[in-house]
Amino acid sequence: MKMIIRILDFIKTGRFGSVEIGMSKAKVLEMLGPPDDDTDLDGPGSILLYAWYELFFDPDGILKSIQNDNYNPKDTGTYFFENEKFSIDPWFLNEVQEQNIENISRLLSDNGIKFEIVDYYGRNVLKVNSGVIVDFDEDENENGIKELMGVRYWP
């Protein structure tokens, strides 16, 4: 049976479906199937890419972080993915444009997800109790909105 990876669950738990931080690259590949790209970072490790969902591994092949910071509502390829092993339910990573910290804060609250607004490298982000960060652009667009950039978990 194909696994459905729900971004709602990722935000709540930091788990990408059944994939968890600390797993081996071999186990992740077994669970998720072949990636769109497997990049060797020459020393610091490697990255598996499924659409724009990036799974970072240390030099020993252990999963250290999961993120998608390339979200673009005009490009489904930045948030939707499906292969023979799994598909992504992207939740708020969707076609809705100009999502901002206020919209996403309401959505998290409506779903009972506890979070705080924190400074993250000079910009305001939402840090969920799981440790997942919902990230926003540091610069305003032409309409004065700091748009949603994506989600990341770097424990």
pTM of the model: 0.92
Helix (H, G, I), strand (E, B) or coil at 124: strand
Question: Could you tell me the mean pLDDT of each successive run of 10 residues in the chain, 155 residues long?
Answer: 95 97 98 95 91 96 97 93 96 92 96 97 95 93 90 96
CATH class for the domain made up of 3-89: alpha beta
Compute CA distances 120 → 3, 29, 65, 152, whole Å. 32, 31, 16, 12
Tallying the residues shown for the chain, one arrives at 155
Do residues 154 and 63 lie in contact, with contact meaning Cβ atoms separated by under 8 Å?
no
For the chain, the domains span 3-89, 101-153
Q: Which pLDDT score is estimated for 141?
A: 82
